[in-house]
Amino acid sequence: MGNLIIQNLLKKQNEIFLKKFIVGNKKRGKFYKENITINILSPGRVNIIGEHTDYNLGLAISVTVNKYIFLIGIIDNSNEVKIYSKYLNEHCKFSLDEIRYDKRTPWINYIKGVLREYIKHNYKIGGFSMIIDSNLPIATGMSSSAALEVGIAKFIEELFNLKVDKKDTVKYCNSAENNFVGVKCGLLDQFTVAYGKKDNAIFLNFKDLSYEYIPFNLGENTILIIDSNENRSLSDTEYNNRIDECKNAVKIISSITKDSRIKSLSDVSLDLLYRLEEKLPEKLFRRARHVVTENNRVLLLKESLLKGDIKKLGLILLKSHNSLKYDYEVSTERLDFLVDEVTKLKWVYGARLMGAGFGGSVISIVKKDKVSDIIEIMSKKFLEKFAEAPKFIECLPSDGTKRVDKT
């Protein structure tokens, strides 16, 4: 069923591309070869555990899921980039000679930032025409921005036959979001989107970008994402402030201990942190406590996955949410309501806010055959509280960003 959905979406994408770019070019006598059309499938990601640990050089376990951004395009034989977003119904055109931040069209900056990174690293790219579509929700904590960035990177690597190490692809996309878009995110999103593997989770150490695949089998259970409809842009939230607070905590701890080996909060043990509690500003202590305990929760969840202990996995998610709520202060009334109410249901093992917070979604592990019941109950409760219904997304692990043949 999943492959059929993808095939139909790709077929529609190609039809739209043919109508918008190819027919007009043929009428104007422009050269076109159908076999140079590039199709890219770039998935969203669900972070199972390890929130705000990436920029603190810690640990995380995440999966890519079967919700995608679709990209199709061809070489344009010019120095211009022409893009149509079917998802947003917006057109954008710009020259590769003048890649400037666009305040009026925020989504195009993710693309511009990636192109600028490749140009900066001396890769030869030219103009192209492209259509983008998506069934991956935006601003829900499923990394639509990273899916777009890695998708664009894979597209130009295929289109211009660029030989790029995958870790460099991840770093270029991350730099684009950090330095062009203005969000100081870590590498979690881009790495997961690039390296995802069907039926597996990725256990990732951000200190050295070492990773391993863990079989991801929930048996009779599934992942259910609940979207709070509380959209947020990370560049407009406290996200960047959290990064600065963590850096300040590291500086103080390193200075007090006179230990030059402490370069991130992931170099700090829980025992050391509690010994320094009175010497740290209360807010910075709580920020650090979240990161240190979250790294420990990642290790516990890895063990639970390997043992197939779903009950323990659910409890770990709840502990993570409470830490994000009280110590890191990135939750919201809507996210707390969803976690509190969904975990009252006997078919739900655990839940927590997913992604950076400040809005977005909740991840829950639930009984697969009770998804419809959960949706009905939670829709009613949420509607009564907030006068609108949440959205629900049932997810399966998928492969990372890849080129796909037209169908």
Specify the pLDDT at position 238: 86
The dihedral region occupied by 139, where left means phi > 0, alpha psi between -120 and 50, and beta the remainder, is left
Task: Give me the CATH number covering residue 194.
Answer: 3.30.230.10
218-269: per-residue pLDDT in tens? Answer: 889 999 999 999 876 665 568 889 999 999 999 999 999 999 999 999 999 9
pLDDT of residue 29: 45
Among candidate residues 189, 227, 267, 327, the one labeled active-site is 189
Residues 221 and 32: their CA atoms lie apart, in Å, by 48
Query: Does residue 371 form part of some domain?
Result: no
Q: Which residues fall within 8 angstroms of residue 310, CB to CB, at 6 or more apart?
A: 218, 219, 221, 304, 349, 365
- In the prediction, which pLDDT does 129 show? 92
The answer to whether residue 177 is domain-embedded is yes
Q: Can you give the pLDDT at residue 27?
A: 47
Cα–Cα separations (whole angstroms), residue 301 to 227, 324, 372: 23, 17, 27
Q: How far is CA 341 from CA 122, 219, 316, 337, 364, in A?
A: 52, 24, 17, 6, 11
In whole angstroms, what is the distance from residue 245 CA to residue 249 CA? 6
Burial class of residue 177, CB neighbours in 10 A (0-12, 13-18, 19+)? buried
Identify the residue whose tokens are 């998610």: 317
Catalytic site includes residue 102:
no
Three-state secondary-structure class, residue 43 = strand
Report if residue 154 sits inside a domain.
yes
Q: Are 183 and 144 in contact (CB under 8 A)?
A: no
Task: Determine phi and psi for 406, rounding to 5 degrees.
Answer: -65, 145
Q: What does the pLDDT read at residue 337?
A: 98
Q: Is residue 193 a part of any domain in this protein?
A: yes
For the stretch 92-115, pLDDT in tens is 999 999 999 999 999 999 999 999
- Which domain covers residue 123, as residue numbers? 2-216+398-403
In degrees, rounded to 5, the angle at the alpha carbon of residue 345 between the alpha carbons of residues 342 and 348 is 75
Q: What local confidence, expressed as pLDDT, does residue 77 receive?
A: 81
How many CA atoms, within 13 angstroms, populate the side-chain half-sphere of residue 201? 25
Q: How many domains does the chain have?
A: 1
Q: Determine the longest span between alpha carbons in the chain, in angstroms.
A: 74
Is 231 contained in some domain?
no
Q: Is residue 120 part of a domain?
A: yes
207, 113 contact by CB (below 8 A):
no
Confidence at residue 237, expressed as pLDDT on a 0 to 100 scale = 66
Q: Which residues of the chain have pLDDT under 70?
A: 1-35, 232-237, 406-407
CA dist 393 → 44, 136, 361, 374 (Å):
12, 10, 10, 12
- Taking the C-alpha atoms of residue 94 and residue 371, their distance in angstroms, rounded to an integer, is 45
Domain contains 24:
yes
Count Cβ atoms below 10 Å from residue 330 Cβ, excluding itself: 22
Cβ proximity of 228 and 362 under 8 Å: yes
Number of Cβ within 10 Å of residue 80's Cβ equals 15
- Full-model pTM: 0.86
Does residue 390 belong to any structural domain of this protein? no
